Amino acid sequence: QVQLVESGGGLVQPGGSLRLSCAASGSILSINHMAWYRQAPGNQRELVAGITVGGSTNYADFVKGRFTISRDNANTMYLQMNSLKPEDTAVYYCKTSLAPGTVWGPWKDYWGQGTQVTVSS
């Protein structure tokens, strides 16, 4: 019943910007953590940035100073990407750790289907 939908990907020139969104919907009791991952062709999926329910953030070294992760009060997460480089080209995935339903239980991970980001001149 829980769904994650990413949006905002596309084609951008080097040095440009994009903002990705991830909307979580369905029966959600509580969200513990949200994060962005990415996977370039032929490479392993890697963590880009994460944010806790308390607002604490962490970033991979390769995006520090360029990307900003944020969250609003409607279970939506954002990734503002500035100064994009060709090596940022990848499918970007939203992951949410949450307690589903109406009865408290273990945290469960949910993944979106991904959105393509291509940085090319």
115-119 and 76-81 strand pairing = unpaired
**43-71 pLDDT per residue, tens:** 999 999 999 988 999 999 999 999 999 99
pLDDT bucket at 108, cuts 50 / 70 / 90: very high
For a pLDDT cut of 70, what percent of the chain falls above it? 100
